[in-house]
Chains A and B, each alone.
Chain A
């Protein structure tokens, strides 16, 4: 942690730096950091709370302490979580995106699986253990992930079925890998889908299946009792498979 201050106008030979875990406890410090206006305090715990002040020293006589500044409440480096699904690369792409956020993407979710891996690859999306989707016909029984966004673009995720809300309708989407939504093309009108939302079971019946261009974002519009499922076409990368199901 680097501290910067203005040079004292009064007579002084050096500065002292004091710090501690809060505004009432300055248990650490250096009584003489030299006659400088900047000092790096090292050996701090990343993410920890610290408060600092600086005091000019004139011989054995100390001046009035400076104003107190604290980390974390107002600054400092935060250490991010250690979740297995955290991906610093994806997080960096997301956080450094400086495009305008319009509130809606101009394209449907891009879900084509590009990497094969036996292990789950980290995406940074949040696992929602209170929510799952079950489609008996194609062997789907997954917990749900909540997607992050880069601007208006929803992120996908390896071996993840994601849930978002568009125009108050629930939209589930995932890669077209055989272990995610790859079997969606097999669904027909009348097939059964079940969701569990915070312990409440909801049963749906497929009412519509469509193959649409990825630019047809209006195809996600649904009736108030419907959910929408989306994945990519295997054979036509520019197209998406849309399945709509109504509550029974």
Chain B
């Protein structure tokens, strides 16, 4: 009899464990901004300001004046299949559209995965000289553009973020 009571008790405990054990719970992280900033290791003061319909945008908090910003965008163009000619055309179009736009450096490289143009330029807006650092990655007809605008000595920080965004979004 005692043997049966022990067996029934063990069975009850086993069944009870399976009935009443906790269901695993999971919740997707709401605070994506913090996660992205940490993951991309942004320099101090930079935040992810947009991550949606205007694609991905970073900016640095400053007391006054021009807010340094970095924007990532993706587009497509059949002309991009001839990347060198396409980038030449984009630069000529930019010079014609933003009339004070001056290219300082224009470096091009071709890798197995695609074509890269690193362009540094400046232009004048409301009597202020704005520095622009841009990268264009071209893979087939896909064009990934990362643009950073700033004033003063923020070139290294901007390029660091552009590098991180390129690795994250383009895989370079």
Give the interface of A toward B (CB within 8 A): 3-12, 15, 46, 52-58, 61-64, 66-67, 69, 72, 74-82, 86-93, 95-99, 102, 105-107, 110-115, 117, 119, 121-125, 150-153, 155-158, 175
Given contacts A90-B98, A150-B98, contact A63 B90 (CB under 8 A): no
Report 25 cross-chain contacts, Cβ distance below 8 Å, ordered by A residue.
A5-B27, A6-B26, A6-B28, A10-B22, A15-B26, A56-B24, A56-B25, A75-B52, A78-B74, A88-B145, A89-B93, A89-B94, A91-B73, A92-B71, A92-B134, A93-B147, A96-B69, A96-B148, A97-B130, A99-B66, A99-B126, A119-B89, A123-B97, A124-B97, A156-B97
Cα–Cα, bound, A90→B149 (Å): 12
How many residues of B sit at the interface, in one of the four size bands?
35 or more
> B24: which A residues are within 8 A, CB to CB?
8-12, 56-58, 62-63
CB closest chain-A residue, reference B51 = A75
Contact in complex: B143, A88 (CB < 8 Å): yes
- Please tell me which one of the listed residues A3, A123, A153 contacts residue B93 in the complex, with CB atoms under 8 A apart: A123
Q: Closest CB of chain B to A175's CB: distance in Å?
A: 7
Cα–Cα, bound, A75→B95 (Å): 32
Contact in complex: B76, A122 (CB < 8 Å): no
CB closest chain-A residue, reference B101 = A93
> A64: which B residues are within 8 A, CB to CB?
23, 25-26
> A155: which B residues are within 8 A, CB to CB?
97-98
Given contacts A98-B67, A121-B89, contact A87 B94 (CB under 8 A): yes
> B54: which A residues are within 8 A, CB to CB?
78, 95
In B97-114, the 8 Å CB interface with A consists of 97-101
Given contacts A86-B75, A98-B67, A121-B92, contact A66 B125 (CB under 8 A): no
Q: Does B77 contact A (CB under 8 A)?
A: yes
- Please tell me which one of the listed residues A67, A96, A107 contacts residue B149 in the complex, with CB atoms under 8 A apart: A96
Q: Does B132 contact A (CB under 8 A)?
A: yes
Cα–Cα, bound, A106→B125 (Å): 9
- Please tell me which one of the listed residues B126, B146, B150 contacts residue A152 in the complex, with CB atoms under 8 A apart: B126
Given contacts A5-B29, A11-B22, A111-B99, contact A92 B73 (CB under 8 A): yes
Cα–Cα, bound, A125→B96 (Å): 12
Q: Closest CB of chain B to A81's CB: distance in Å?
A: 7
> A67: which B residues are within 8 A, CB to CB?
27-28
Q: Closest CB of chain A to B170's CB: distance in Å?
A: 11
Contact in complex: A4, B28 (CB < 8 Å): yes
Cα–Cα, bound, A41→B24 (Å): 22
> B55: which A residues are within 8 A, CB to CB?
77-78
CB closest chain-A residue, reference B78 = A82
Cα–Cα, bound, A89→B77 (Å): 13
Given contacts A87-B94, A92-B134, A99-B66, contact A6 B27 (CB under 8 A): yes
> A56: which B residues are within 8 A, CB to CB?
24-26
Cα–Cα, bound, A63→B125 (Å): 56
Q: Closest CB of chain A to B18's CB: distance in Å?
A: 9
Most buried by A among B32, B52, B69, B96: B96
14 new A-B contacts, CB < 8 A, other than A121-B93, A155-B97, are A8-B24, A9-B24, A10-B24, A55-B26, A63-B25, A64-B25, A77-B74, A78-B74, A79-B76, A93-B101, A96-B71, A119-B89, A122-B89, A156-B96
